[in-house]
Structure 1
Amino acid sequence: MLFLALPVSALLSALLIVTLRPLLVRYALARPNARSSHRTPTPQGGGIAVVGASLLVAGTILLAAGMPGGALPLVAVAALALAAVGAVDDIRPLPAGPRLLLQAAAVAAVVWASDGRVLPEAVPLGLERALLVLGGVWFVNLVNFMDGLDWITVAEMVPVTAAITVLGAMAGAPMAVVCLALALCGACLGFAPFNKPVARLFLGDVGSLPIGLLVGWMLLELATTGAIAAALLLPLYYLMDATITLLRRLARAEKVWEAHRSHFYQKATDNGFSALSVSAHVLGLNIALAGLAAVTLFWPSGVVQIAALALGLVLVGLVLRRFSRSRSTLSLEVSR
């Protein structure tokens, strides 16, 4: 019954999009701005379907199968709260301060619901949870920041959630995590045809913020099983692109809360890469990272963990370097 989560969630997500799209066209148009990669007004809000289908299908299957939901009800409430914040922000942008406080409250609720430990016992529990809240808020925001190109979120989240499904089951993660990962994977696939370049629909903050929270919770639960290296490897591209970009902007004394086009994937389109090419790079990279994450579970020695993380950093670094250089320069170097 668990494997029904993917096809049912994909179908429900697509049906909800078809149903909601006329309303989104009328009330939720995203107009091009300094951060945009699109040139014409495009409806946003597809995240309503993706998040709604994921939570509904996962919850229904767990209930019907008599499997424990664990922390999922609380996580679902926190995700829906973030979706509401994102929906308001999509229509009328909220000030950065209140938005950040609401995100912190949602992340804190999710961290509080997690029973396991990630850091060694020598680290005080209060300090660990404070660090997890800080990291969770950053993860929620970076997923939002990275959702700025057609198909890039699909190219990121489909392999990540598919890997969480398999690796979570292998590592002994709660069934609620495995089921939700499979449902979210399906919902993203249902969204994919509407977001393919040139996109007819965007996720919007109503989708990217709660997706960041849900995936962050699933990665946290994976990490508490001892699979910390796998939990770091799976989102490594998003982590590196967004974090390096943030640090560079801070070094330039820029207002980091304002719209920009400084991410590596945005530079790639400025350098001649098509949206489809960028997403293909991200998809291929994430499949490789998922493979490395699997290696850390099959061979859990410290040496293998460190080697896999190092190789993952190298692979992501190579893709970021490629995105930073123009296609004409790369073609010239290849021809030499």
Structure 2
Amino acid sequence: MVLAPLAAVPLAAGLSAGLILALRPLLQRYALARPNARSSHTVPTPQGGGIAIVLAVLASVGAVLALRGAGLDALEALILAHATLALAILGAVDDIRPLPASLRLGVQAVVVAGLVMAVGGRLMPGVPVPVERAVAILAGIWFVNLVNFMDGLDWMTVAAFVPLTAALLLLGASGGLPFLPTLVAAALLGGLLGFAPFNRPVARLFLGDVGSLPLGLLGAWLLYRLAVAGGLAAAILLPLYYLADATLTLGRRLLRREPVWQAHRSHWYQRATDNGFPVIAVVGRVFLLNLALAGLAGATLLWPSWPVTVLACGAGIALVASVLHAFARRRTIG
């Protein structure tokens, strides 16, 4: 049980790095992201590296399931694979020629709904099933999009997802998560580690929508699986910085009647670079924050009681608020 998911980490890392090396000349030629007023980069940089992560995850998970036997996980794994590929294709097309927001949301709604139905389980037993499913679908769509919104800085997605997937892998290895999500977390961790050297500041390769959309879907599914397994508080704590930055930014833009479907530079992490924070300082703080949030999430699972949950959630909110506050202020040197 433990060795199979752990083996997926180096396998996916090697596949991801190898695919990037093989595909980079094509991405350099056909998928250049040119800087504009809202960009965090200043020179044309190839995007689309996320396709290597997606393929590495799917290949690693498929290989392990083929060797072990998929068993009862076969149908859910198949639905997850098709949903991930659907969003990767959607993102690839959008990277080349921007698609209408309505089409993007429509495809996302279909694939998220399919996954929610495949998982089953209950989070709120007192709530009617259709209402709970609708809330889960809306939350999944939002998570897919917020990961896309937050992927605007070198190493930002790595800083967010490496602690999250590593925490889920440790939880699964200790028996706190079923085999399939443990395996997917391990493969996603490996894929990101293989991508990380190419995306470190100053990045030589970007994730692109072909990566951020399916990664958001995989992250949403992993967190939903964790919540259904009894870890709702942990599922909220693990991505709390992303949830706070993206949701508060959206709310602020709605209040200002700004077109929320257009690209912008008003996320807290973007404001931090405008306020004098080096990129490595921003993603370093986010990475350390996410490690702390993973520790708090673990505490709610190790000691499942309402006092621990309240204290952990309060501490998580305070930590996220302190980072957002720091990012919103101009950095002083000396």
Normalised to the residue count of structure 2, the TM-score between the two structures is: 0.96
What is the identity percentage for the equivalent residue pairs of Structure 1 and Structure 2?
A: 59
Query: Deviation digits for residues 10-42 of structure 1, max 9, x if unmatched?
Result: 011000000000000111111112331001111
**Counterpart Cα distance in 1 of 2:130 and 2:175:** 26
Say which of 80, 83, 94 aligns to 2:85: 80
Matched, 1:269 2:290: no
**Counterpart Cα distance in 2 of 1:116 and 1:170:** 21
Q: Indicate the residue corresponding to 2:118 in structure 1.
A: 113
Say which of 22, 25, 28 aligns to 1:22: 25
Query: Deviation digits for residues 160-214 of structure 1, max 9, x if unmatched?
Result: 0011111244464221100110110011000000000110000000000000001
Matched, 1:144 2:148: yes
Number of paired residues? 329
Cα pair 1:9 1:186 within 8 Å, conserved: yes
* 4+ aligned runs moved over 4 Å, structure 1: none
User: Any stretches of 5+ residues in structure 1 without a counterpart?
Assistant: none
**Counterpart Cα distance in 2 of 1:171 and 1:228:** 17
**Counterpart Cα distance in 1 of 2:296 and 2:230:** 16
Q: Which amino acid is the alignment partner of residue 254 of structure 2?
A: L
Say which of 155, 159, 164 aligns to 1:160: 164
Q: Indicate the residue corresponding to 1:307 in structure 2.
A: 311
Q: Which amino acid is the alignment partner of residue 17 of structure 1?
A: I
Matched, 1:208 2:197: no
Cα pair 1:150 1:198 within 8 Å, conserved: yes
Say which of 97, 101, 105 aligns to 1:96: 101
Matched, 1:248 2:252: yes
Q: Which amino acid is the alignment partner of residue 278 of structure 2?
A: S
Shift of residue 115, structure 1, vs aligned partner: 1.7
Q: Indicate the residue corresponding to 2:190 in structure 1.
A: 186
Q: Indicate the residue corresponding to 1:319 in structure 2.
A: 323
Matched, 1:52 2:55: yes
Matched, 1:33 2:33: no
Cα pair 1:34 1:259 within 8 Å, conserved: no
Secondary structure of the equivalent of 1:327?
coil
Query: Deviation digits for residues 89-144 of structure 1, max 9, x if unmatched?
Result: 0000001111111111111111111121112x110010000011111100000000
Cα pair 1:37 1:149 within 8 Å, conserved: yes
Normalised to the residue count of structure 1, the TM-score between the two structures is: 0.96
Q: Which amino acid is the alignment partner of residue 112 of structure 1?
A: M
Cα pair 1:159 1:287 within 8 Å, conserved: yes
Matched, 1:236 2:240: yes
User: Any stretches of 5+ residues in structure 2 without a counterpart?
Assistant: none
Q: Which amino acid is the alignment partner of residue 41 of structure 1?
A: P
**Counterpart Cα distance in 1 of 2:170 and 2:236:** 16
